[in-house]
């Protein structure tokens, strides 16, 4: 045996003993569970529903096995990890739970047919939805994002300006506060029939309702932030010669930004529900329309696929809002907790 061959075991032992290196036990367990899901899917025949079996079963089983291999490779990797790998490791318990949930879902639907078809489709049916109907789903997603962007941005801008105005001026607050108390508690979806009657198109009515749902929380939280600024900040600025515009733009608004972002977060959540409701009732394209279309044709797999896309996109938008808040308010870190 050569000296190079003899040194291989020693190198492996040195790598295992390297400071900071240890196997990812949760990843190993998750890899085993996902491998079990893949083996179960491939080896256990599906129960035939009607005159055909569920499609894309083999592809789903292979995908589960590939995921298991990737998790096993991550579990054996060293201590120096890119940020994406560290994020996957932090999600280890969720990977375990998802493997158990998906395996139970597969058994209860495709393998034993405990849950009635077509109301409950197996996991592989989602692959079929995304492969065969991706064009319609992508078009619906783009239309929903465009509608949401118009309504949310208009409502956020109007709410911010209204909140700053009534937080700074008691005279304006006298007239606007009753309107807030009157319109605020009314759900925007309750105004759907009126909006569709008064606006020239269902799209413009949906934009108005989304803007209204966003406007109220942004207004209230911005008003609260501006009104709650420490008066000592204004006194210091005035002693240095600041005028009213400087006090508003450079003192009141920056100090109120944590509350503004809380209002934006609440407004974004409210706008999601209004978006889906408006698309279900009047808009001719969008994720809400897609849900109604799938339900009307009893395509429940398409409905589940749209719900998953909706959840991922909406949670992604909230994450982007968090990232923007963290970057813009880095100088106020720790002032407000979300």
pLDDT digits 0-9 by tens, 231-279? 888 888 888 888 888 888 888 988 899 899 999 999 999 999 899 888 8
Burial class (CB in 10 A: 0-12, 13-18, 19+), 201: exposed
Averaged pLDDT, 51-64: 87
Averaged pLDDT, 332-336: 58
pLDDT recorded at residue 51: 53
pLDDT recorded at residue 334: 56
> Cα(214)–Cα(132) distance, rounded to whole angstroms?
35
**8 pLDDT more than 70:** no
**320 pLDDT more than 90:** yes
> Cα(27)–Cα(8) distance, rounded to whole angstroms?
26
**79 pLDDT more than 80:** no
Asked if 159 and 275 touch (Cβ cutoff 8 Å), the reply is no
Averaged pLDDT, 52-61: 87
> Cα(14)–Cα(265) distance, rounded to whole angstroms?
49
Share of the chain above pLDDT 90, in %: 50
pLDDT recorded at residue 1: 47
Residue 112 or 19, more confident: 112
Q: What rounded mean pLDDT belongs to the chain?
A: 86
**308 pLDDT more than 90:** yes
Task: Give the residue among 233, 228, 290 at the shortest CA–CA distance from 257.
Answer: 228
Residue 34 pairs with which residues in a beta bridge? none
């Amino acid at each position: 045996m050569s000296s190079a061959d003899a040194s291989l075991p020693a190198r492996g032992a040195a790598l295992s003993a390297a400071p900071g290196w240890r196997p990812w036990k949760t990843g190993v367990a998750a890899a085993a569970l996902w491998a079990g899901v893949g083996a179960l899917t491939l080896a256990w025949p599906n129960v035939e529903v009607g005159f055909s079996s569920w499609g894309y079963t083999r592809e789903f089983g292979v995908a589960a096995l590939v995921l298991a291999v990737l998790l096993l490779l991550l579990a054996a990797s060293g201590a120096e990890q890119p940020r994406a790998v560290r994020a996957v490791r932090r999600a280890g318990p969720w990977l375990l739970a998802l493997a158990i949930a998906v395996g139970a879902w597969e058994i209860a639907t495709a393998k034993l047919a405990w849950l009635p078809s077509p109301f409950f489709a197996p996991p592989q049916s989602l692959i079929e939805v995304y492969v065969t109907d991706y064009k319609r789903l992508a078009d619906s997603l783009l239309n929903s994002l465009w509608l949401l962007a118009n309504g949310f941005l208009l409502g956020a801008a109007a709410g911010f300006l209204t909140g700053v105005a009534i937080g700074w001026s008691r005279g304006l607050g006298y007239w606007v506060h009753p309107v807030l108390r009157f319109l605020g508690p009314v759900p925007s979806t309750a105004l759907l029939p009126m909006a569709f009657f008064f606006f020239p198109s269902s799209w413009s009515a949906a934009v108005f309702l989304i803007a209204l749902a966003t406007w109220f929380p942004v207004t209230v939280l911005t008003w609260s932030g501006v009104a709650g600024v420490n008066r000592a900040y204004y006194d210091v600025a005035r002693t240095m010669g600041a005028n009213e515009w400087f006090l508003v733009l450079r003192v009141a608004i920056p100090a109120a930004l944590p509350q503004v972002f809380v209002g934006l977060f609440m407004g974004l959540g409210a706008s999601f529900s209004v978006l889906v409701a408006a698309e279900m009732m009047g808009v001719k394209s969008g994720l809400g329309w897609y849900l109604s279309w799938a339900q009307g044709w009893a395509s429940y797999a398409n409905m589940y696929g749209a719900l998953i896309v909706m959840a991922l996109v909406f949670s992604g938008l909230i994450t982007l809002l968090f990232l923007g808040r963290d970057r813009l308010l880095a100088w106020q870190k720790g002032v407000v907790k979300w």
